[in-house]
Structure formats: C-alpha cells, structure tokens
Structure 1
Amino acid sequence: MTHAKGRAGGSRAFRLRVLLAVLLAGAPLAVRAQTVEHATRERVMAALPPLEEMARQFVDRDDVPGLSVAVVHRDEVVFLKGFGVRDEAGREPVDADTVFQLASLSKPLAATVVAALVGEGAVSWDARIADIDPGFRLREAYPSAQVTVRDLFCHRSGLPGSAGNELEGLGYDRDTILHRLRLVELSSSFRAGYSYSNFGLTAGAVAAAKAAGLSWEDAAETRLYRPLGMASTSSRHADFVARPNRATLHVRDGGGWKALSRRDPDAQSPAGGASSSARDLAQWVRLQLGSGKFDGRQLIDAHALGQTHQPHMWLGRHPITGSLTFYGLGWNVEYGRYGEVWGHAGAFSEGARTLVSLLPGEQLGIVVLANAFPTGAPEALADSFFDLVMRGDVTRDWKKEWDRLYEQVFGQTIEEAARRYGTPPASPQPALPAAAYVGVYANPYVGRAVVAEADGTLQIRLGPEGKWVVPLRHFDRDLFTYRPFPEMPDLMSSATFSVGPDGRASAVTLEHLHDLGLGVLKRIEEPAP
C-alpha cells in the first residue's frame, strides 16, 4: 500500500507487499468492448443510481463495513455519499465527511504538492537530492550523487520495494529510516528498473519540501489542502486521530469484520500517511481534471502538474484488465478501451482500502474509500461505474474478479504459513536452555534486538526502546516462531539462532526482516535488561 503487511514465514512477506503494491498502484480500467460512448452528463447521471445501489449492496452483504464515494464530472461534484459504518463496534454511520486513512492514495496527493512547489520555482522535478540534502545517500555512489525528485517519484532509483517498510513496522521514525536506506543493496541499476518504494518516494517528497524551506506536513497543508478548502485532510496522523468522524481499520476475523490493530504511518507520510474524506478528495479531483485550475484560478502550474501524469516506467499489462500500464510521478497511467486513465489505489493490511480513477479525456473521476482489507469493493465500484457510463451496462463481475485475485495472493501465503509452521515436527529436537539464547543482538540496519526470558518463555524486543515485543514459540532445536503482524495472526515468521561451539547463540536471523538480506543480527556483549 504504500503497503500490505504479512506473509508466511519471512522475506516473502515483503515480496508479497511489493506484489500487492504493484496491483494497488493501478487504477481499474476495463478491457476492450464493442461499443464505447462519451461521458455525457445524461450518461453520467444515469449511472449514479446503480452505482449507489451497488455500494449499498456491498455494505448490506457485509463485503465491507463502510464506504464513501465521490464522483466528479466536468468540474462538478455530481455524487457524494457514505454507506455503512465507521466502526463495526460503534455502528456510527459513514458519510461524505468521514475521514479515512488513504494509504498509498497519498502518493498522487504528494505528487500534487510537489508539482505546486515546482510550479512556484522552489524546486525542480529534476533537482538532485544531493544538492538539497547532502546527507542523503543510497548504497552506491553514482545514484547517490545523481538521484532526483523525479527518479524517486517514479520508483526508478534502484531501491527495492520493501526498503524501510520493516523498520517502520518496528517503530523507527522517518529520519532514522531514510538514513538507513544507504545500507540497502539496490535491486536494479539506477534508472533501469521499476521498484515501488514507499520510502524512496518519501525521500523525494521530503527533499522537495526542504528545498522550499518547509517540512513535508506544512508543504502539504499550505500548497494543497488549505488552498482547496480540504479542511478534513492532513498528512499528520495526530490530526486523523483527533477527528471525531473517522473510520476505523477492519480486517476479517472469524468471518466478520473486526478492528484488530491501528496504523500510524507518519514515517512514510508522503507515500502512505495522508487522511481525507470523499468530500475533500472531490475538490482535489477537480484540480487534477482542470490541469491545476480550481474555481477559475490557476492554482498549480499546468506543466508542472502535467508531468505527474506522463508515463515514465513501463509496468506491463494489468493482471485483471490487460490494459497497458505505466507509472508516472505518483500516479499510475493506463491505456485501455476508455482511453487514458490516471489512478492510484492504496491499502493497509491493518484494514484500509482506497482508490482514485480519472478519465481525463471524459473529464470524469471517481474516488472510493473503504475501511477494510482485503476487499475488491473499491475497484468493483469504479470499474462498474465506468462501464455504465461508457457502455450502458456492466461488462464483468468486477467484485468477483478482484476478490479472486486477493484470495490467490493471500490464500497462497496463508497456506504456505500453515505448511511451514502450523504443525510442529513429529520429533522436534529440544531447545537449548534459555540462557543459550538470551542476550543482545544487533546490526546497523535493524538496530538492537533483546532476547529475554519472561514467565518461562523467550521473547524478542526490537525497535526504539525495545517497544516492539513478540513471544517466541519453540518449533525445532534453535528455530522459534512468532507472529509479527497482529492483523494477520495466522501468518508466522521464524527466528533461527546460530549456536557456536561454546553452546551460546552467536547470531539470530529474523525471517520477516530478512527480505533485503539484512535480518541477521549478531550477538553483542551487552547485558540484556
């Protein structure tokens, strides 16, 4: 999403995140059809009642707890409505002003903010990060010296997709995470490959704001949210928490929707930390479709904003629609039967789903916000709505198609977890005495890990001040399992200790942190607290 956590075991968790991020980066677009019309006002208005009925059915069938939807056509907000509840426990209704966490829908918002800074001359899309912030570095010297704001916004810096995500999960702040990116081996040659990176884009956005003498949060507020009157929108998590009309994150648990965890995404605010309402985002859609013009005034330079919608990196064909897909600057750009589309989607595995999809040639756009994960409801609503407008009927069961895709991705992951760690070995080797494993381990990327004994059970503490704590369950000899993701309790990972000739563990490999090869922590001679 920006961002789904979880997986069976370890490093596959973050590869799963990357796969999901690629899927969610794209906005929905239908495949070829025989007859395509234009989005006249009559056709748009005729499509709104079935759109509303479909959203209501999704809530009534418990496909999702709550939804908020906005539709913009020719600079007019023609539909704005909420459905369902903000929180399954409280049952307060969702309306057009309910604030949702946007996850990776934050990325095109961030691109809009940077476009505003570019338009006013504070920075350039091609400004080198090294010139703005000499302290920022990647693993290799050449990309460190040459990487630009543009490179980071179109994900071609070479940073692997999961870089920094696992550190955020442990509770590290933005400055720490961006500093430690220099330890990550690049996954491709500079500018030669696409890799969707939350903290790469965050680095680009933070640098652009710094060039203007602003923090990222202030840049977003002063250059976009305030000028558009987006009073319920913020790039600060504290503002979201303070909203009385806000949606809670939900995941499936025992067949029903439950709020099992929360998400504070401030560390990656430009990439996944914005929060907003359907009403506010409708104003932003007006700005996008108006090429930077809002209420008759050129708020953002058209050329600077237009750069965000240009295809930069080839992604291939969409796994469901088959449309040609590219990544721009914080936007997905697709080409299909209804022409060019700009879009992005977002997800938190803790329970958020969001989507924006725009048909600029038709001056038509839709925003769908949902408070649950996984669900294909946002894509189904957008795909079906475009079908209704452009063809007069819905071409496919889009909800079924998207749900099947998510089930394939996550179902396989959960099955693998069950195969690997669900059943202990028939004759497991006993663990060594707890004292053999207890101690402090560390590496420069993950930081310190404290393995301690509590109530007869080993536990591991990670992150700042050791606040990330999970119990270790013995599996076989020096291998222990743990659950790194509260919202996905069935997904387990492993801690494997390397024991030396002296009978003490000299290192531990934490599988869910090892996607980048940086999950091996060596014992350091420091007494465990």
Structure 2
Amino acid sequence: MQAENDMVTADRLAGFDEFARAVRKQWRTPGLAIAVVHNGHVVYERAIGVRDVDQHLEVTPQTLFAIASCSKAFTTAALAVLADEGRLDWDLPVREYMPSFRLHDTLATERISARDLVCHRSGLPRHDLLWYSSAKSRSELVHRMRHLEPSADFRSTWQYQNLMYMTAGYLIEQISGQTWEEFVRDRIFAPLGMCDSTLSVEESQQSPDFALPYKKERDDTVHEIPFYSQWAVGPAGGINSSIRDLARWVTMHLNGGRWEGTQLISEGQVREMQTPQMVMPPSDKYPEVLHLSYGLGWFIQGYRGHNLLQHGGNIDGFSSLVTLLPRENIGVVVLTNLNGNPVPWILSMNVCDRLLGLAAAPWNHRAQKDEEKFKEGERRSEEKSDEDRVKDTQPSHPIKSYAGEYEHPGYGTIEFSLREGVMIASYNALELPAFHYHYDTFVLTFERWDQTFKATFSANARGDIESVRIPFEDSVSDITFTRVPDRALRQRGYLERFVGKYDLSGESVTIALKGDGTLLVQLPHRTPMVLVPYKENRFTAQGLSGYELTFVIDAEGQVTEAIITQPGVVQTARRT
C-alpha cells in the first residue's frame, strides 16, 4: 500500500523539479532547499542553487538557513511540553509566573496569559524597531515593553507581535530554569535528532554547511548582506535549520506529537496548537484562501477546501515557509537565502496543489503582479513625499544644535551626530543618515529595510531643541525621544561639586546627590525637586519650566553661590 502511495506521489510531483528551478531563476534566488513529507515519509528532497555565490558552494539537504519566524512554532511547542508536565497553564495570567511583568495597558497586564502571548492579541502592534539590532538582554526588553503604546484593546484585534513571542521565551526560562535556547535544544532538537540545527547565527557559522544571506535591490541586483545576529528576540525567530532536520519536525507534528515511538508532545497539545485561537482580518484577495485565523504558532486557513497550517519566516537575507495539511498527512518545507522573496509560498502551494490532485493555482503570476504593484506603490510614495516637502526652508537652529542624545523609556536612546557635515542617527546598532526635509524635519534612511522615517525636532520655551518625534511604529503616535544632557554633565564626579548648604536670605537651601546620581534641591517651604543638567553649571527642575539654578564658580574652581530662578523672581544663595 505504501509503495502504491509513493508511486502516486511521485507521479503528481513529476515536473516539479523543472518548475522549482525556473521559479528560483526568475526570482534571482541564490539557493533553495525543499522537503516534502507524506504519510510519515520524506517523498521529495531537493537542494537547488548555491549557498555561497562567490565560492560557488552548492546547497545541500543539510545546509543551514535562518528560518526566522518559522521558529515561533518551536516556542509554542516548548510551552506545550511545560503544559504537559503541569508546569504551565495556558490561560493563567503571566504575572502568576512573572510578578514584575507589566504592559502599558492595566487590563492586559493583569490578564494576559501564555495563550495570549502567542496568538497575537495583546493589543500591541509590532514595535519591531525596539528590538531590531538591539544589544539589550531579553529581560531588559521585556521590562521596556511597559512603555509601549498599544493600538487596540486587549484581545480585541489580531496584530502580529514578535516581542510577545520573546516574552513567551522568557516565560519558559522563568518556569523551567533553562534559557529558551537550552530548553528547545534539550527538549525538542535532541529527541528529534535535529543535530544540525542551531539557535544562534554564530553557532550556525561554525557548521561546514551554512547559507549566506542575500538581498535583492530595487534594480534587481542581488548581493550578499550581513547576518542578523542580535537575537534576544530569538523565541520569535532565532532558529537556523535544514530541510533534513525540519522534515523530522514536520513529521512529528503530522504524527500528533509522536516521533519514532516516543510521544514528545501530547496529542491533545498538538491539537491545541493547530486549533484557531484568534480570528484574523478577512481577505478576499484570492478565492483559494478563506477563513484566516491564528493558532499557537501557526497560521490556519481554508485552502481550496482543505485545512492548511503554515508559518513563514523572513529575516535579513532569508525567507522560509513550513506548511502542514494535517488531514492529508502532508508537510512541505521550503528554505531560501534571499531577503523577502515569494519563492517559498509559490513552491509550497504548487506542491500542495499537485498532491491534492488540483490544477495549479497561478501563484507565480500573482506574485509577479504583486511585486509590480508594490514597486509602483513605492514610486508613488516617494513622489508624494517630494510633493509634500515645503521647498526652500531651513532648520530653525544651526545644524549642530540638533546633535545629542535623546531617550524614550521603551525604545531607548537615539543619538544624532555630525560627521563630515552629514547628520547621522545612531540607534541600537544602526547608522541612519539624516537629511534635511523641511523646517525642523529630517529624513532618516534605513537602507536595510528600504525604509525612511521623518524625524521632527521640537524646541522648548528657552529655544533649545529638546525632543524629536519619529514614526518608528506607524499604528500609534510618533515615538517621542526627549533630549538628555551631555554625558559629561551626568557624571557623578561633576555633580558632587554642587552638593552642600546654601544661604538664601537667612533660610537654608540644600543640594543633595541621591545614590543613583540624581541631584536634588530643597528650597524653603517646597518639596524636593530633581535637578536636570541643562548646560555647564546650569540646571532645570524636572517637569517645572519656571525653575532654574545656575552655580557660580570662582577663579579657583570652587562653587561659591547659586542663582535661583523661580516664577517671577531671581535670587542668589551663597554657599555656606
């Protein structure tokens, strides 16, 4: 019977090799690897093209590719293992496991569960530039999420969210005592025999067989780009794997969590992962695809009358797709080393059409039309931006006045500096050239994502540039970064010189330094105020625009008095 099934499968896949090679060439994808699983067997395995263009190294079934967001199902599988062991309740609030966990929304903070984390219904939009290229730790990023503005009510709307998957990985660590990486390696990779798969780019590059990342530019030229390597957000997309390893992963899912006689995940938990948890916005773009929803780490949809699960992955230089047809016991894995290309979808759907005995849907033609429309949209957007620009304007301040550090409690620090007359914005590990657009607005160019952001600076009542607004997340208000004093003015050694008692018309003024390096002033009959360095020897009161202290330094470098500005009055307090 199995031999007969294999003959039918081989017959239906006849000609697919030629189709795959033609699609790869058309989309200028350097290399790709494809595996098809049917009824528990790998019925098709091909490696096409090169993993390294310059060295002419061919792709093999063991070649490691970054699988990006295809990693999400590994994170939910890890949570399912903990649920099987009774250590995790999918619906218990996360704060039961992590009491310090907080989000911007109070209700979400109190009620969000592990299930909510991994089915994209937290109320938060992507906020991807918080984590992208950030060197901050997983715990630091989880802590910063409380400062991120939501764009929808909790559990009301499906919104793709990588940070929540990162949080799910951090939750695994808090429950198990192992990092997400250790847990996935020990509890999933090892029992499945996924010996080649890795959980970091650095580790994958120690392998003798890994693919390099490539990007296609607007002019259709393809070139090698750096690996993405900052993987605190790894539980959302940090795995590197091969088609040979992923065929085992797919087979385990199709077998209800069983692999070679061992139940790695209970059948009930696998069923839960493959069950719709959150309805997605409907789409009638293509008649073959209906009823979109999201399970636990899987997109779920009706495809030409069949239940189809899949998850794609895109990260710098790689695109991938893992697809399941559970009722038909079919699994497809397609991995490529080209940034944001449609080849994984085109090939996966073609395989599904063939094995289901259906006429092939024109996915390749549709992808071409989509790309044409996207390029036209990009062109029109650039034209619109140029039309909106007010010509012949100048910044309100000398260009050097915009240089400095600006902070947001969630997004962290962005620094603007002048280099050979060009403004550069440094954010996380990114260097974004900033060119004047009009008035106090500059355009930041993010070449890696082929994206631009308009950064608008604002001045305070003193005329100083004090903040910059940048639409890093377009579904919420612009992210406002507030200027921070120069580093030299924040050093403890610099601040200590002002500490002491001052006499103000017979009453005492006290300047004190808190343990965290914050300078405080106690004026008569007022509560203590935090002093914020403004310029050398000058401070403002935090949150109070009418207060300022200027310290007077004598010829010997000693602080002798403080000139205190309050609403409607300026007084001098002499140091005692």
Query: 1:404-447 deviations in whole A, cap 9, x for unaligned?
Result: 33443464245313531599754233563223212232221222
Q: Structure 2: how far apart are the matches of 1:177 and 1:239? A: 23
Distance 1:360 1:319, change over 3 A: same
Aligned residue in 2 for 1:226: 190
Query: 1:290-324 deviations in whole A, cap 9, x for unaligned?
Result: 00111122222111221100111111246333321
Q: Structure 1: how far apart are the matches of 2:170 and 2:487? A: 38
1:141 paired with 2:106, answer yes
Displacement, 1:512? 3.2
Which one has the bigger helix percentage? 1
Q: Structure 2: how far apart are the matches of 1:274 and 1:324? A: 29
Aligned residue in 1 for 2:516: none
> Structure 2 residue aligned with 1:360, among 323, 326, 343?
326
What amino acid does structure 2 have at the position aligned with 1:120?
A: E
Q: Structure 1: how far apart are the matches of 2:369 and 2:233? A: 29
Greater relative contact order, per chain length (Cα 8 Å cut-off, separation 6+): 1
Aligned residue in 2 for 1:473: 435
Aligned residue in 1 for 2:228: 263
Q: Structure 2: how far apart are the matches of 1:104 and 1:471? A: 29
Which sits farther off after the overlay, 398-407 or 72-81? Answer: 398-407
What amino acid does structure 2 have at the position aligned with 1:96?
A: P
> Structure 2 residue aligned with 1:248, among 200, 209, 212?
212
Aligned residue in 1 for 2:343: 377
Q: Map of 1:417-428 to 2, 5 A cutoff? A: 417-420=382-385, 426-428=391-393
> Structure 2 residue aligned with 1:342, among 309, 313, 331?
309
Q: Give the conservation status (yes or no) of the 8 Å contact 1:103–1:346.
A: yes
Q: Structure 2: how far apart are the matches of 1:86 and 1:58? A: 17
Secondary structure at 2:57 match in 1: coil
Aligned residue in 2 for 1:68: 33
1:325 paired with 2:280, answer no
Which sits farther off after the overlay, 55-64 or 407-416? Answer: 407-416
1:509 paired with 2:474, answer no
Q: Structure 1: how far apart are the matches of 2:90 and 2:69? A: 20
Aligned residue in 2 for 1:458: 423
Aligned residue in 1 for 2:482: 522
Count of matched residue pairs:
483
Displacement, 1:199? 0.8
Q: Structure 1: how far apart are the matches of 2:166 and 2:87? A: 18
Distance 1:318 1:307, change over 3 A: farther
Aligned residue in 2 for 1:20: none
Aligned residue in 2 for 1:311: 276
1:59 paired with 2:24, answer yes
What amino acid does structure 2 have at the position aligned with 1:377?
A: V
Query: 1:226-276 deviations in whole A, cap 9, x for unaligned?
Result: 110101112233222322311122221332211234312512211111110
What is the alpha-carbon root mean square deviation over aligned residues? Answer: 2.4
1:485 paired with 2:452, answer no
Aligned residue in 1 for 2:160: 196
Secondary structure at 2:269 match in 1: helix
Q: Structure 2: how far apart are the matches of 1:302 and 1:280? A: 21
Displacement, 1:194? 1.3
Aligned residue in 1 for 2:45: 80
1:495 paired with 2:455, answer yes
* TM-score normalised by length of structure 2: 0.78
Aligned residue in 2 for 1:207: 171
Distance 1:216 1:527, change over 3 A: closer
What amino acid does structure 1 have at the position aligned with 2:331?
A: G
Which runs of no fewer than 5 residues in structure 2 stay unpaired? 490-576
Displacement, 1:355? 0.6
Q: Give the conservation status (yes or no) of the 8 Å contact 1:75–1:286.
A: yes
Displacement, 1:376? 1.6
Distance 1:485 1:318, change over 3 A: farther
Q: Structure 2: how far apart are the matches of 1:378 and 1:241? A: 23
Q: Give the conservation status (yes or no) of the 8 Å contact 2:70–2:311.
A: yes
Distance 1:314 1:511, change over 3 A: closer
Q: Structure 2: how far apart are the matches of 1:141 and 1:62? A: 47
What amino acid does structure 2 have at the position aligned with 1:144?
A: T
What amino acid does structure 2 have at the position aligned with 1:322?
A: V
1:92 paired with 2:53, answer no
Distance 1:204 1:259, change over 3 A: same
Q: Structure 2: how far apart are the matches of 1:487 and 1:188? A: 25
Aligned residue in 2 for 1:29: none
Secondary structure at 1:291 match in 2: coil
Distance 1:437 1:407, change over 3 A: same
Which sits farther off after the overlay, 114-123 or 507-516? Answer: 507-516
Rg larger for: 2
Q: Structure 2: how far apart are the matches of 1:194 and 1:446? A: 23
> Structure 2 residue aligned with 1:351, among 317, 326, 341?
317
What amino acid does structure 2 have at the position aligned with 1:185?
A: E
Q: Give the conservation status (yes or no) of the 8 Å contact 1:123–1:208.
A: no
Displacement, 1:325? 1.3
Which runs of no fewer than 5 residues in structure 1 stay unpaired? 1-38
Q: Structure 1: how far apart are the matches of 2:127 and 2:154? A: 15
Distance 1:335 1:511, change over 3 A: closer
Secondary structure at 2:314 match in 1: strand
Aligned residue in 1 for 2:13: 48
Q: Give the conservation status (yes or no) of the 8 Å contact 1:421–1:481.
A: no
Aligned residue in 2 for 1:239: 203
Displacement, 1:91? 2.2
Displacement, 1:96? 0.7
Q: Structure 1: how far apart are the matches of 2:170 and 2:7? A: 43
What amino acid does structure 1 have at the position aligned with 2:149?
A: E
* TM-score normalised by length of structure 1: 0.85
Q: Structure 2: how far apart are the matches of 1:487 and 1:185? A: 23
Displacement, 1:181? 0.9
Secondary structure at 1:227 match in 2: helix
Q: Give the conservation status (yes or no) of the 8 Å contact 1:499–1:505.
A: yes
Which sits farther off after the overlay, 84-93 or 426-435? Answer: 426-435
Q: Structure 1: how far apart are the matches of 2:80 and 2:59? A: 32
Q: Structure 2: how far apart are the matches of 1:236 and 1:387? A: 34
Query: 1:448-478 deviations in whole A, cap 9, x for unaligned?
Result: 2322222222222233xxx433332223232
Query: 1:456-513 deviations in whole A, cap 9, x for unaligned?
Result: 22222233xxx4333322232322222123352xx32222211345443121122335
Query: 1:14-71 deviations in whole A, cap 9, x for unaligned?
Result: xxxxxxxxxxxxxxxxxxxxxxxxx943332113332222112223335311110000
